[in-house]
Structure 1
């Protein structure tokens, strides 16, 4: 979109495992030179979720989990074992209320660490632009672990007051700049739930939202697999696959 620039960036490391996605979603300002281990990535994600929820509660900022994080909650209130990022949403009015805290650092103890970790609340200066044509700035904020650059994506939800090119949804419908739209009854009233033992909020009709985003089978299909083909030097192809099956007895996704 003319007059804007991409504020947030990320660094991707190579796919190097058959059981986990790319160790990506690291802010290049704080990313290590090599990818984190799978165990450290999962430990970091859990700490990110705990500290984000605690900080938003202290700041009285209403927020809810979204996308793949919400899908993990739907199945067993845990992260999907192949997922390596966290997505949350909030209203654009709530995000605006966080601007006085922009670039603030927060310190929290993390299990297994000798020293508290530092977390940064970083708000995209383009968050006020509601146009879906601003494709370079779909993410409106980040909660970043500056130890390793892993972060939570924060996306603002806007109300479409009229139908036009920049906000192409009907009046009374909520939308985000990443192309998702929601009815008021889809989101509100938010529900108090638990995710990884952490108190979070989820949309009122999460099943409807997930079915639209990932398809109805995503709510019932107990088998999951993905594959990625990477092209190395000299055009050598490398196929990476991950297969999981949901065990109803253990209530866990387990590798096949």
Structure 2
């Protein structure tokens, strides 16, 4: 749930606009099956279909637990960021409407990940026996720490091979230590001072140990404005202060029910179309075999 902050580099923006769609796709490392909040948050390699709300919740829960646990076990520094950090601020959990999770690492950690752990797979089993497998995929364009053409602002991903949902990982680098010492920047124009980030605070997120930036409140207000810390109804959810949970409104529950029905109907239509296509190919193959037999006779 990251949003762009700061001022864009006009030259870079014009360059990106001049690129054709084919050129953008060729330059882009990570690919999604589509765009928008839903289709833009799956890795195309592992996408099969849009998952249910329940599967998304379950996947994200175990995915972030696996990610944070693995980084801690391997002494790799990482912390939660953007919408994931906002979810932590409210109740130490992910925002239930968020389609992806966001973390950050230092540029040095990012380079080490690329050198030692790129394209590695990791398995995880929760206390209740739920298992998952994840691919740590590091973008080869991590060597470029400026935004460039804007096609590779995501530096790495922790991807569920089960359904393609992922955690976006972005690196922070001190790109201009000569003119802006102590300013750490990602490729999406988020800027932080060293004192905003360090020393990191150790906390809990979704039941496992996690880290958050030292000035997390300042960072959240700068990125989302103060209303993000006080508004109690958002994206079809209402904040329950007594239970400290974001709960779906009746309207959202009904919308989800309708969406599930449409998804089921679409699945039936796709299956019928696939069966019809298969039947057509079998008939064509049988006709071709008969033609060949008649010619041979």
TM-score interval, smaller chain: 0.7 to 0.9
Higher Cα radius of gyration: 2
Residues 82 and 42 (structure 1 numbering): CA distance in 2 closer, same or farther, change over 3 Å? same
Q: What residue ranges of structure 1 are gaps of 5+ in the alignment?
A: 15-20, 164-168, 225-241
Structure 1 residue 11 displacement after superposition: 2.3
| 1:7 is the counterpart of 2:17 | no
Structure 1 residue 118 displacement after superposition: 2.1
* Aligned positions of 1:59-138 closer than 5 A: 59-98=74-113, 99-109=115-125, 111=128, 113=130, 116-138=131-153
Specify the SS of the correspondent of 1:185. helix
The Cα offsets for residues 33-56 of structure 1, whole Å up to 9 and x where unpaired, read as x21111001100011101111211
Are the aligned partners of 1:245 and 1:255 in contact in 2 as well (CA < 8 Å)?
yes
How many residues are matched? 225
The 2-side partners of 1:201 and 1:11 are apart by 31
User: In proportion to residue count, which structure has more helix?
Assistant: 2
Work out which of the residue numbers 213, 221, 243 in structure 2 matches 1:250. Answer: 243
Are the aligned partners of 1:103 and 1:123 in contact in 2 as well (CA < 8 Å)?
yes
Specify the SS of the correspondent of 1:155. strand
| 1:197 is the counterpart of 2:207 | yes
How much is the aligned-residue C-alpha RMSD, in angstroms?
2.2
User: In proportion to residue count, which structure has more strand?
Assistant: 1
The 2-side partners of 1:171 and 1:123 are apart by 27
Work out which of the residue numbers 207, 210, 231 in structure 1 matches 2:217. Answer: 207
* 1:216 matched residue in structure 2: 226
Specify the SS of the correspondent of 2:38. coil
Structure 1 residue 173 displacement after superposition: 0.6
Work out which of the residue numbers 41, 44, 65 in structure 1 matches 2:59. Answer: 44
Work out which of the residue numbers 20, 30, 42 in structure 2 matches 1:26. Answer: 42
Q: Which runs of 4+ in 1 moved over 6 A?
A: 1-4
